[in-house]
Amino acid sequence: MFNRLLFKIKFRYLILICFFGVILNIKLLFISLFFIFLKLYLSSKKITFLVLLYIFITFFIYELVNIQTFIHKTDYYTESNIQYDINREYGYYPKKNSEFVEKIFYKGKLLSLNKYTINEHGHRRTINFDVNTNECIVFFGGSIIFGQSVNNDETLPHYVSMNLNGEKKVFNFAFNGYGPHQFLSKIENNYLDELKICKKLYFIYFYINDHIGRVVGKRSWGDKSPRYIFNGYELIQKGFFSSYPFKLIMKFRKNVRNSKILSIFYNIEKINKKDQALLIQILDEIEKKSKNININSNFYYIIWDKENLKYEIINNFFKFKKTLNIDNLNIPIKYHSNNIPGDNHPKKEFYELLSKDLIKFLLVKK
């Protein structure tokens, strides 16, 4: 009875289900492959199809078992009431004019409580003294600059502003999960209202290798982020990573990432030279278009050597830039990470010490 029913199912429908399995659900892929090879075996009795049949039913069982087996258990957990909005050009950002609270617990006890205050532009608030100055420092990048897991008065932009005693106004354009592509979109679409008072600009970008994966959509987050592509030699924004048809690629990557079987055979996070070139082009565009807005613009880059040495293209870019290397500074290793599983952002002492080195660097290089 089952065999007759199986033979009535057209082979092309099984192939179609297999295709949707690749895009929508890896377990559906394994089920469809199981039925495909079952049908092939029943029609030909070839031992090869029987072996493949056993392989894919094993894969399916393995995926089901690993739903629970591979859940990462930790004594740390986080509670946060952060809310997001979506801008049609540069994507997700923290809700404007708001304050969020994040609580980190360890074994049920409150370990730390952090407050994130967001201004009317959707950026984290920085302290600026009531001093008449038109020189501005603009930070952009991801969670390290934003100040994940530290309070408003413990971020790098805050310490820089404090140590300068208001000599320059300081702005924080960074956010969790960001790369440089969000900042480029803000420049191209004129979301720079905060900087209208500035006559001289110091742009500071904190680079980490993960930003390469972010600008090409190879990370599990950031689907509502601007997607940049090469159109010939020109760099253009083409919707978000969540825009069709690229959304299908994002779904496929998500499924592979969540599959223990496919992750063995295919590294979805792997970075290639084209990915590196895209990040470099985005940084070049930021420099060029920022100078078109304000000719008196200066760019500085903060990197960790250990994060940078992997890629020759990236190294060649930074060779000719004003670059501050974390590993060349006397910041104790114990401050580099808060050692919270799933977090591991730097401690407040890291930012405080880095701010002093950064100010010296700016004064020498300006």
Q: Which residue has the higher pLDDT, 167 or 73?
A: 167
- For 89, which DSSP code? T
- What is the average pLDDT across 76-104? 94
DSSP string, 77-100: EEEE---EEEETTTEEEEPSSEEE
- What is the average pLDDT across 11-30? 63
- What is the average pLDDT across 272-289? 95
Summarised one tens digit per residue, pLDDT across range 154-171 is: 999 999 999 998 889 999
Distance CA 170, CA 168 (A): 6
**pLDDT for the residue 226:** 97
**pTM of the predicted model, to two decimals?**
0.86
Residue 49 CB: number of other CB atoms within 10 A? 18
At 22, list the tokens. 């690749």
Identify any residues that bridge with 205 across adjacent strands, giving them in sequence order.
Answer: 140, 301
Question: Which H or E run contains 255?
Answer: helix 246-257
Summarised one tens digit per residue, pLDDT across range 97-131 is: 999 999 999 888 998 899 999 999 999 999 877 77
pLDDT-derived band at 14, boundaries 50, 70, 90: low
pLDDT-derived band at 1, boundaries 50, 70, 90: very low
**pLDDT for the residue 366:** 53
The answer to whether residue 70 scores a pLDDT higher than 50 is no
The amino acid at residue 18 is: C
Please tell me the least confidently modeled range out of 181-190, 248-257, 323-332: 248-257
Query: In the chain, pLDDT over 70 holds for what percent of residues?
Result: 88
Please tell me the least confidently modeled range out of 21-30, 72-81, 265-274, 351-360: 21-30
Cβ(247)–Cβ(241) below 8 Å: yes
Question: Which H or E run contains 34?
Answer: helix 26-44
pLDDT-derived band at 266, boundaries 50, 70, 90: confident
